Amino acid sequence: MPDDGILLIDKPAGMTSFGVVARIRRVLSQAAGRKIKVGHTGTLDPFATGLMILVVGAECRNAQIYTKQDKTYQATIVLGQSSTTGDPEGEIATISTTPLPREMVEEVINQFRGDIMQTPPVYSAVKINGQRAYDLARKGKVVEMPSRTVTIYMLDIIDYAWPLLTIRTHVSSGTYIRSLAVDIGRALGTEAYCRELRRVRIGDKTVEDAQTLADFGIMT
């Protein structure tokens, strides 16, 4: 286990990214007999799984290098339903039960390739006047999220069987797949949310090369 460098971790569902960092830090520190500095290079939502790059020791100063790299995800989107958080942790409501033809879904998907304007979810770690958006939202405050340009380099349909749409997408840093799911739903004239999300690549690092928490003796 490194005192300096990076660790590739396959995050399990149901755990925060900060929880992963804390557990790895504890294991590394116990093994070294001293406190080891560990940081992350981009969070994953608790419901999401997949690749996290952790920086260890002196490599923490280079965290931004990894944070700014492109990312690839596989996601399952539920069409015809909405979520207050854009994911399965929010309040779910059924908007439509009428199946949409695959041709219509493919046509809409084509609109989201390339540079697009995207508004991050209210329940996100984006800072608004120095405070995390999700902290403000949980306090019941109205949060105005600024839109920004992101790039969708690749967006493919892996499977579609109403109401489930499974996609694989390669995106620029700062892209929110929850927002992409919601926007796809609205472009289809309905609502949608991201039910499953797995990050499979960051830059040239892949989840196939990652370790699990069990590899560190950590039970989840």
Tokens 């219509």 identify what position?
Answer: 104
Interatomic CA distance for residues 140 and 119, integer angstroms: 19
Instruction: Please list the residues that pair with 73 across neighbouring strands.
Output: 169, 199
Type of residue found at 192: A
Instruction: Please list the residues that pair with 38 across neighbouring strands.
Output: 56
Interatomic CA distance for residues 30 and 65, integer angstroms: 28
HSE toward the beta carbon, residue 4, CA cutoff 13 A: 4
Angle between helices 102-110 and 177-187 (to 10 degrees): 120
204 is catalytic: no
Interatomic CA distance for residues 87 and 170, integer angstroms: 19
**Looking at 10, 45, 87, 183, which residue is catalytic?**
45
Query: Phi and psi (nearest 5°) for 170?
Result: -110, 120
Q: Which are the catalytic amino acids?
A: 45
